[in-house]
Structure 1
């Protein structure tokens, strides 16, 4: 009902009709995906954008030469499946710039480590085999139990070929194209009977692997151990079949999570970097062509273009957020990425700018000793550092009995040195040689030492790790014994020579 003095005001103006949004690339088609705020792509432009990022990452680094054998590590997940699909399309005849390397695919069955039954593992393999056959690349299905039959040489960093001179890549491409014009190379066909290559693991190895993971106390140590054994098995397969490169499907989001997780585990910056290549293994180089793609882009691409994936439960499947450092850091990064969309890219780009300060000592440089498990440079030294202090503190906490006293009341030291437990005398070396656990622990980096604390006994570890640890200990002991007998050249003699 109308009232006197009531101010009705003017009616609210109508909002102008919004102009229909178009693709930011072609400005014509309607967008189907929105990657970031303001970045809306149509189907065709998004595919070209996605493929260009993959090809540009391979092209600007120029690490994979024409005709080189590359092993694609496929886990069945979204990122690795998208990577295999990109390689498959890049090798097709319809591709504008064809890829020139020779690919192969490896799939590792980790069901025993996750506590899956043989029926569930067989069902997963039944889903994996048709996809591998449809891809058409030579493939290898390997069970994780085969780590118990690996040789100790898998833990040795083989000598890497020297860096190719400038212009070598272009010369290799020209030579490869000339050979193709003269004599086209036939495409390598996969085996006709793939069932013969899939060997079921032995029951004893399956039981040993289950016992190993059941003996680990925390989920963090389980994930680290699983990742270590997986890398060792992939390296062995790559070397056995002549692959010089291993291609993984780590996305930018996954690399940022892994970087922050390694920092939380105490590995530092020198252990692992989210760059394009990882050359710590020597003759086999790990490359990451998906490092510029986010998980959101990978999910959109797989959905739009029907990329086949296989879901396999992992060790941390259905685990709560605070069950492990990996799960906690993943939730932290993804939550930040939701609120601040540039979190992942900022973490990855900042890590590339950080350079570890050089230091003197046996752990400096690439030629120094490496960790027995992760093959990174050992960050344990005797210098006044936080890492050394933490290791020494943990070492002292394990000493339960006090030092026995002599008749005069003074501590009884070793027979060869009055320096006590800190001196590198013969008694200390002999005691360490007799203790296998001490021999293994002293050859690990700080992060691996922390993880090994959650393993009550080192006996369930695969035999190749124990054998390589014993071999390194014996070699170090022999070198220490021979060092006293060698005659070093003086500075004057070196200058005269």
Structure 2
């Protein structure tokens, strides 16, 4: 196998010592994907695999190396679904929360399509450049529990559907060269952060930070990416053995990370919220409102989960996402239904323990 140089314009095959920029690089590019799939042994022959194509160069480069695919496009939502999503996003105040919620809903949609069509695996086009940004963003947003799942080759948190990332060894530069050499098409779809400044959100700032570092220090992305592999080794192995038994976040479906020590950021947030509630608390005013809510009963299907109810079902980062949401009724119905089911399970469990 030929070794590719950093600059592919002057690429030459090291074995034959002759310049063959196109064929040599294509062999290298395709071999890299096959090696990634072969070494991890997650996808097997004749297995139905769904390809999630966002329209970007990475996902289309992945698509060009396989034969069949299904494209999930955000703009293909039904008018009713788009109206519900717009209503939800209007209730979120800051861009950080909107981007985080968009990523969550997009993941839910991909999983729904995979389950409806009998796919057990979903291939995502996340490159190592994209995963480096996601790793740093997750750390900044407090998504410690999701680091291994969001950046590893395979993500088993969903049970019946496994997410795989065969493009995670490819840099953005490699993908760009491959797309230009072999005319791989791509589509630009504007997002929430399109035409925003670098400090508009944590995600946008992290992407700008990694991109600027990569321009001056080419090994930056590789260093961050290798760090994510070490995190996968140390974090994912214990969780994979008890994934079914552990409680999971209602939104991101990662293990709940709310059982933290007194010196944690999560505990500091709880203390701040408790102090704020004490300052604003007026029992004579709040008591009737509380009794009216409780009077509907836990078995009522018309009762919507309050912010406090939802918080007990969310991880630290997802709690921050819905913190400024005006009302919980803007959440998709399937999330509210699942929240009610989980609350009923906890109530039944508590009753059994008390008996």
1:396 aligns with 2:274: yes
Identify the residue that residue 121 of structure 2 maps to in structure 1: 245
Q: Describe how 1:77-476 pairs up with structure 2 within 5 A.
A: 77-88=56-67, 103-110=68-75, 142-143=76-77, 201-202=78-79, 204-268=80-144, 270-271=146-147, 272-354=149-231, 355-356=234-235, 365-366=242-243, 367-381=245-259, 383-399=261-277, 400-402=279-281, 436-476=306-346
Residue 398 to residue 357, structure 1, CA distance change in 2 (3 Å): farther
What are the Cα deviations for residues 160-207 of structure 1, in whole angstroms up to 9, with x where unaligned? xxxxxxxxxxxxxxxxxxxxxxxxxxxxxxxxxxxxxxxxx23x4333
Find the aligned partners of 1:80 and 1:235 in 2 and give their Cα distance: 17
CA contact (8 A) 1:212 1:460 kept: yes
Give 3-state SS (helix, strand or coil) of 1:459's partner: helix
CA contact (8 A) 2:121 2:162 kept: yes
Give 3-state SS (helix, strand or coil) of 1:105's partner: coil
CA contact (8 A) 1:273 1:351 kept: no
Residue 447 to residue 285, structure 1, CA distance change in 2 (3 Å): same
Find the aligned partners of 2:81 and 2:98 in 1 and give their Cα distance: 18
Find the aligned partners of 2:183 and 2:321 in 1 and give their Cα distance: 39
1:458 shift after superposition: 1.8
Identify the residue that residue 4 of structure 2 maps to in structure 1: none
1:107 shift after superposition: 1.9
Find the aligned partners of 2:262 and 2:59 in 1 and give their Cα distance: 43
Find the aligned partners of 1:333 and 1:381 in 2 and give their Cα distance: 32
1:47 aligns with 2:1: no
Unaligned runs of 5+ in 1: 1-20, 32-41, 89-102, 111-141, 144-200, 406-426, 486-497
1:368 shift after superposition: 1.3
Unaligned runs of 5+ in 2: 1-9, 285-290
Structure whose alpha-carbon radius of gyration is higher: 1
What are the Cα deviations for residues 103-151 of structure 1, in whole angstroms up to 9, with x where unaligned? 43132224xxxxxxxxxxxxxxxxxxxxxxxxxxxxxxx52xxxxxxxx
CA contact (8 A) 2:84 2:330 kept: yes
Give 3-state SS (helix, strand or coil) of 1:87's partner: coil
Q: CA RMSD in A?
A: 2.7
Give the structure-2-normalised TM-score: 0.84
Report how many residues are paired: 327
Find the aligned partners of 2:130 and 2:207 in 1 and give their Cα distance: 8
1:358 shift after superposition: 11
